[in-house]
Structure 1
Amino acid sequence: MSKVQQAAILLMSMGENDAAQVLKHMGPKEVQKVGTAMSQLNNVQQFEVEGVISNFLDEVRTLTGLGMGSDGYIRNMLVSALGEDKANGLIDRILLGGNTTGLDTLKWMESRSVADIIRNEHPQIQAIVMAYLDSDQAAEIMSYFPDKVRLDIMMRVASLDTVQPSALQELNDILEKQFSGNAGSQTKAMGGVKVAAEIMNNLESSIEAELMESIKEVDEDLGTQIQDLMFVFDNLKDVDDRGIQALLREVSSEILIVALKGADEGLQEKIFKNMSKRAAELLRDDLEAKGPVRLSEVEGAQKEILTIARRMADAGEIMLGGGGEQMV
């Protein structure tokens, strides 16, 4: 049972009001993941519920009251760790319980709705939105645009460096929100080749290949830079053994089997050698017994594993090595 499934069972056991209080402290992606897991719960056994609650209580027993009521400490710590520009955006979300406006509201919206909101706006505004949002949400929004629009947006995202306050203010006007003094007078670092590569990583494979070809037709050097920073499933061969072992603990066997159906022999062997002998034998047997799988299912499973890998890399749990350069 994954951590998300355990969280879903725990929340379902708490009752509506208490569960709602917990969800208020989560971000949009966390709410979506847990909500999806809750909707998929079916025939949960009593012993499973008891096991989840027991695990939760074990975790809680290790906690203390240290840090309660320490808003000032948190502010100083974030500014010291991230710098004032990066910390300011986090401070409001953390300390104000998600009471945020402007661009942050888009993170809670359906991707199709965001696409509809910015569909008729200037491409530069669209690019700023894509650069601001998480790469997986940006990729989903991009899928609702025509090919030519996707190309224009991606070229602009890759070329972004800083954004003037006036541009942010224009975007706020579109969203009918006001940053008030939050926009400040300093430019904001946003976008760039790495952001473009992260968005590309999250696109459907067919869209990704077509868009990459179009980018290279316009600017071959830029296309190569983006491609070099992209991390694809085959790049898992470059992750060290400890990282692979950590990743495998977070991936369900069902997803792994489907993903490996489309992997080359070298990557399969990399996975096998980082499992126990018994587990590797079972996985080999399951792969051989697995019938034909649609390519779209294989690509979906691989994307899911890559999403977990990137999340773990962002948390510093593993190091990804793609395109000849390490990404963390």
Structure 2
Amino acid sequence: MAKKKQTHKEELTGRQKAAIFLVTLGSEISSEIFKHLREDEIEILTFEIARLENIDSEQRDKVLAEFQELMIAQDFISNGGIDYARELLEKSLGNQKAVDIINRLTSSLQTRPFDFIRRTDPAHLLNFIQQEHPQTIALILAYLEPAKASIILGQLPAEKQSDVARRIATMQRTSPEILREVERVLEKKLSSVSQEDYTSAGGVESIVEILNLVDRTTEKSIIEVLEEDDPELAEEIKKRMFVFEDIVMLDDKSIQKIMREVDTSELSKALKGVDADVQDKIYRNMSKRAAALLKEDMEYMGPTRRKDVEDAQQKIVSIIRKLEEQGEVIIARSGEEDVLV
């Protein structure tokens, strides 16, 4: 039996649109998208892709245009909520088109949980949640922008800070049922929990983003407690608190101190493949002759395994962290004021 040919006059289902979209992107990009889908979703999309035949340019352009509209609307929602998104879409696309896009988005895609809280002033939100259980606070902070979450974390009682930080770092997946229970406790109702799926939030990267924005005293206090309670987790967080590329944030005097502690062979490996601004920051803090020799070493070294490069970078990061603990260098962090003592 011959496959049924799709025509642009027919109403495409969401699955068919997704299949057309993936085919249009190409196999390389689509395979990366598949890595983030569940097995049943992959099976459904694979089936739909196999059924596709002769996608005409009008179909393809219509699907791509719809996807772009949904992504723009999702971005508006993330920045200011559904009402804000609807207002902007109405101005650019008209009332009916805006309503259609918002309805499609809220019915088929899950907007970010705790959207109403994300637009709340941090000081007001702190009063609202500080008496909640640490796990509830961790769940809420994990969904906030790091800048707002850092303000709230920094204002929590000291005994709660490390507990909440640990819970964010070890958080993996939260079921819709738990999200709904938290919403019930907070006497709020989200409009985007209808999709029966698991939502990812938290994790080490999440708490690292937050800790990078809190003041140094709060950060040190949290890390010290975590070092006692969960040394492995504390070390994992510390490794990610300062990455090699962050060297560009250091002042020249600090760079020069670091260079005196770093082995040249490790430095030449660490600089392989990094952005030019990182390399330039190092070269500017070396003599012309030393910089020239370092460049020669990198050229003669040839292709280097990524693992060797990352190991060398981590060694230098460890040296920087040690020098910071000794007070020899200062790592500027967002939100921190310079204080002379």
TM-score range, shorter chain: 0.3 to 0.5
Tell me the TM-score normalized by structure 1. 0.47
Tell me the TM-score normalized by structure 2. 0.46
Higher Rg of the two aligned structures: 2
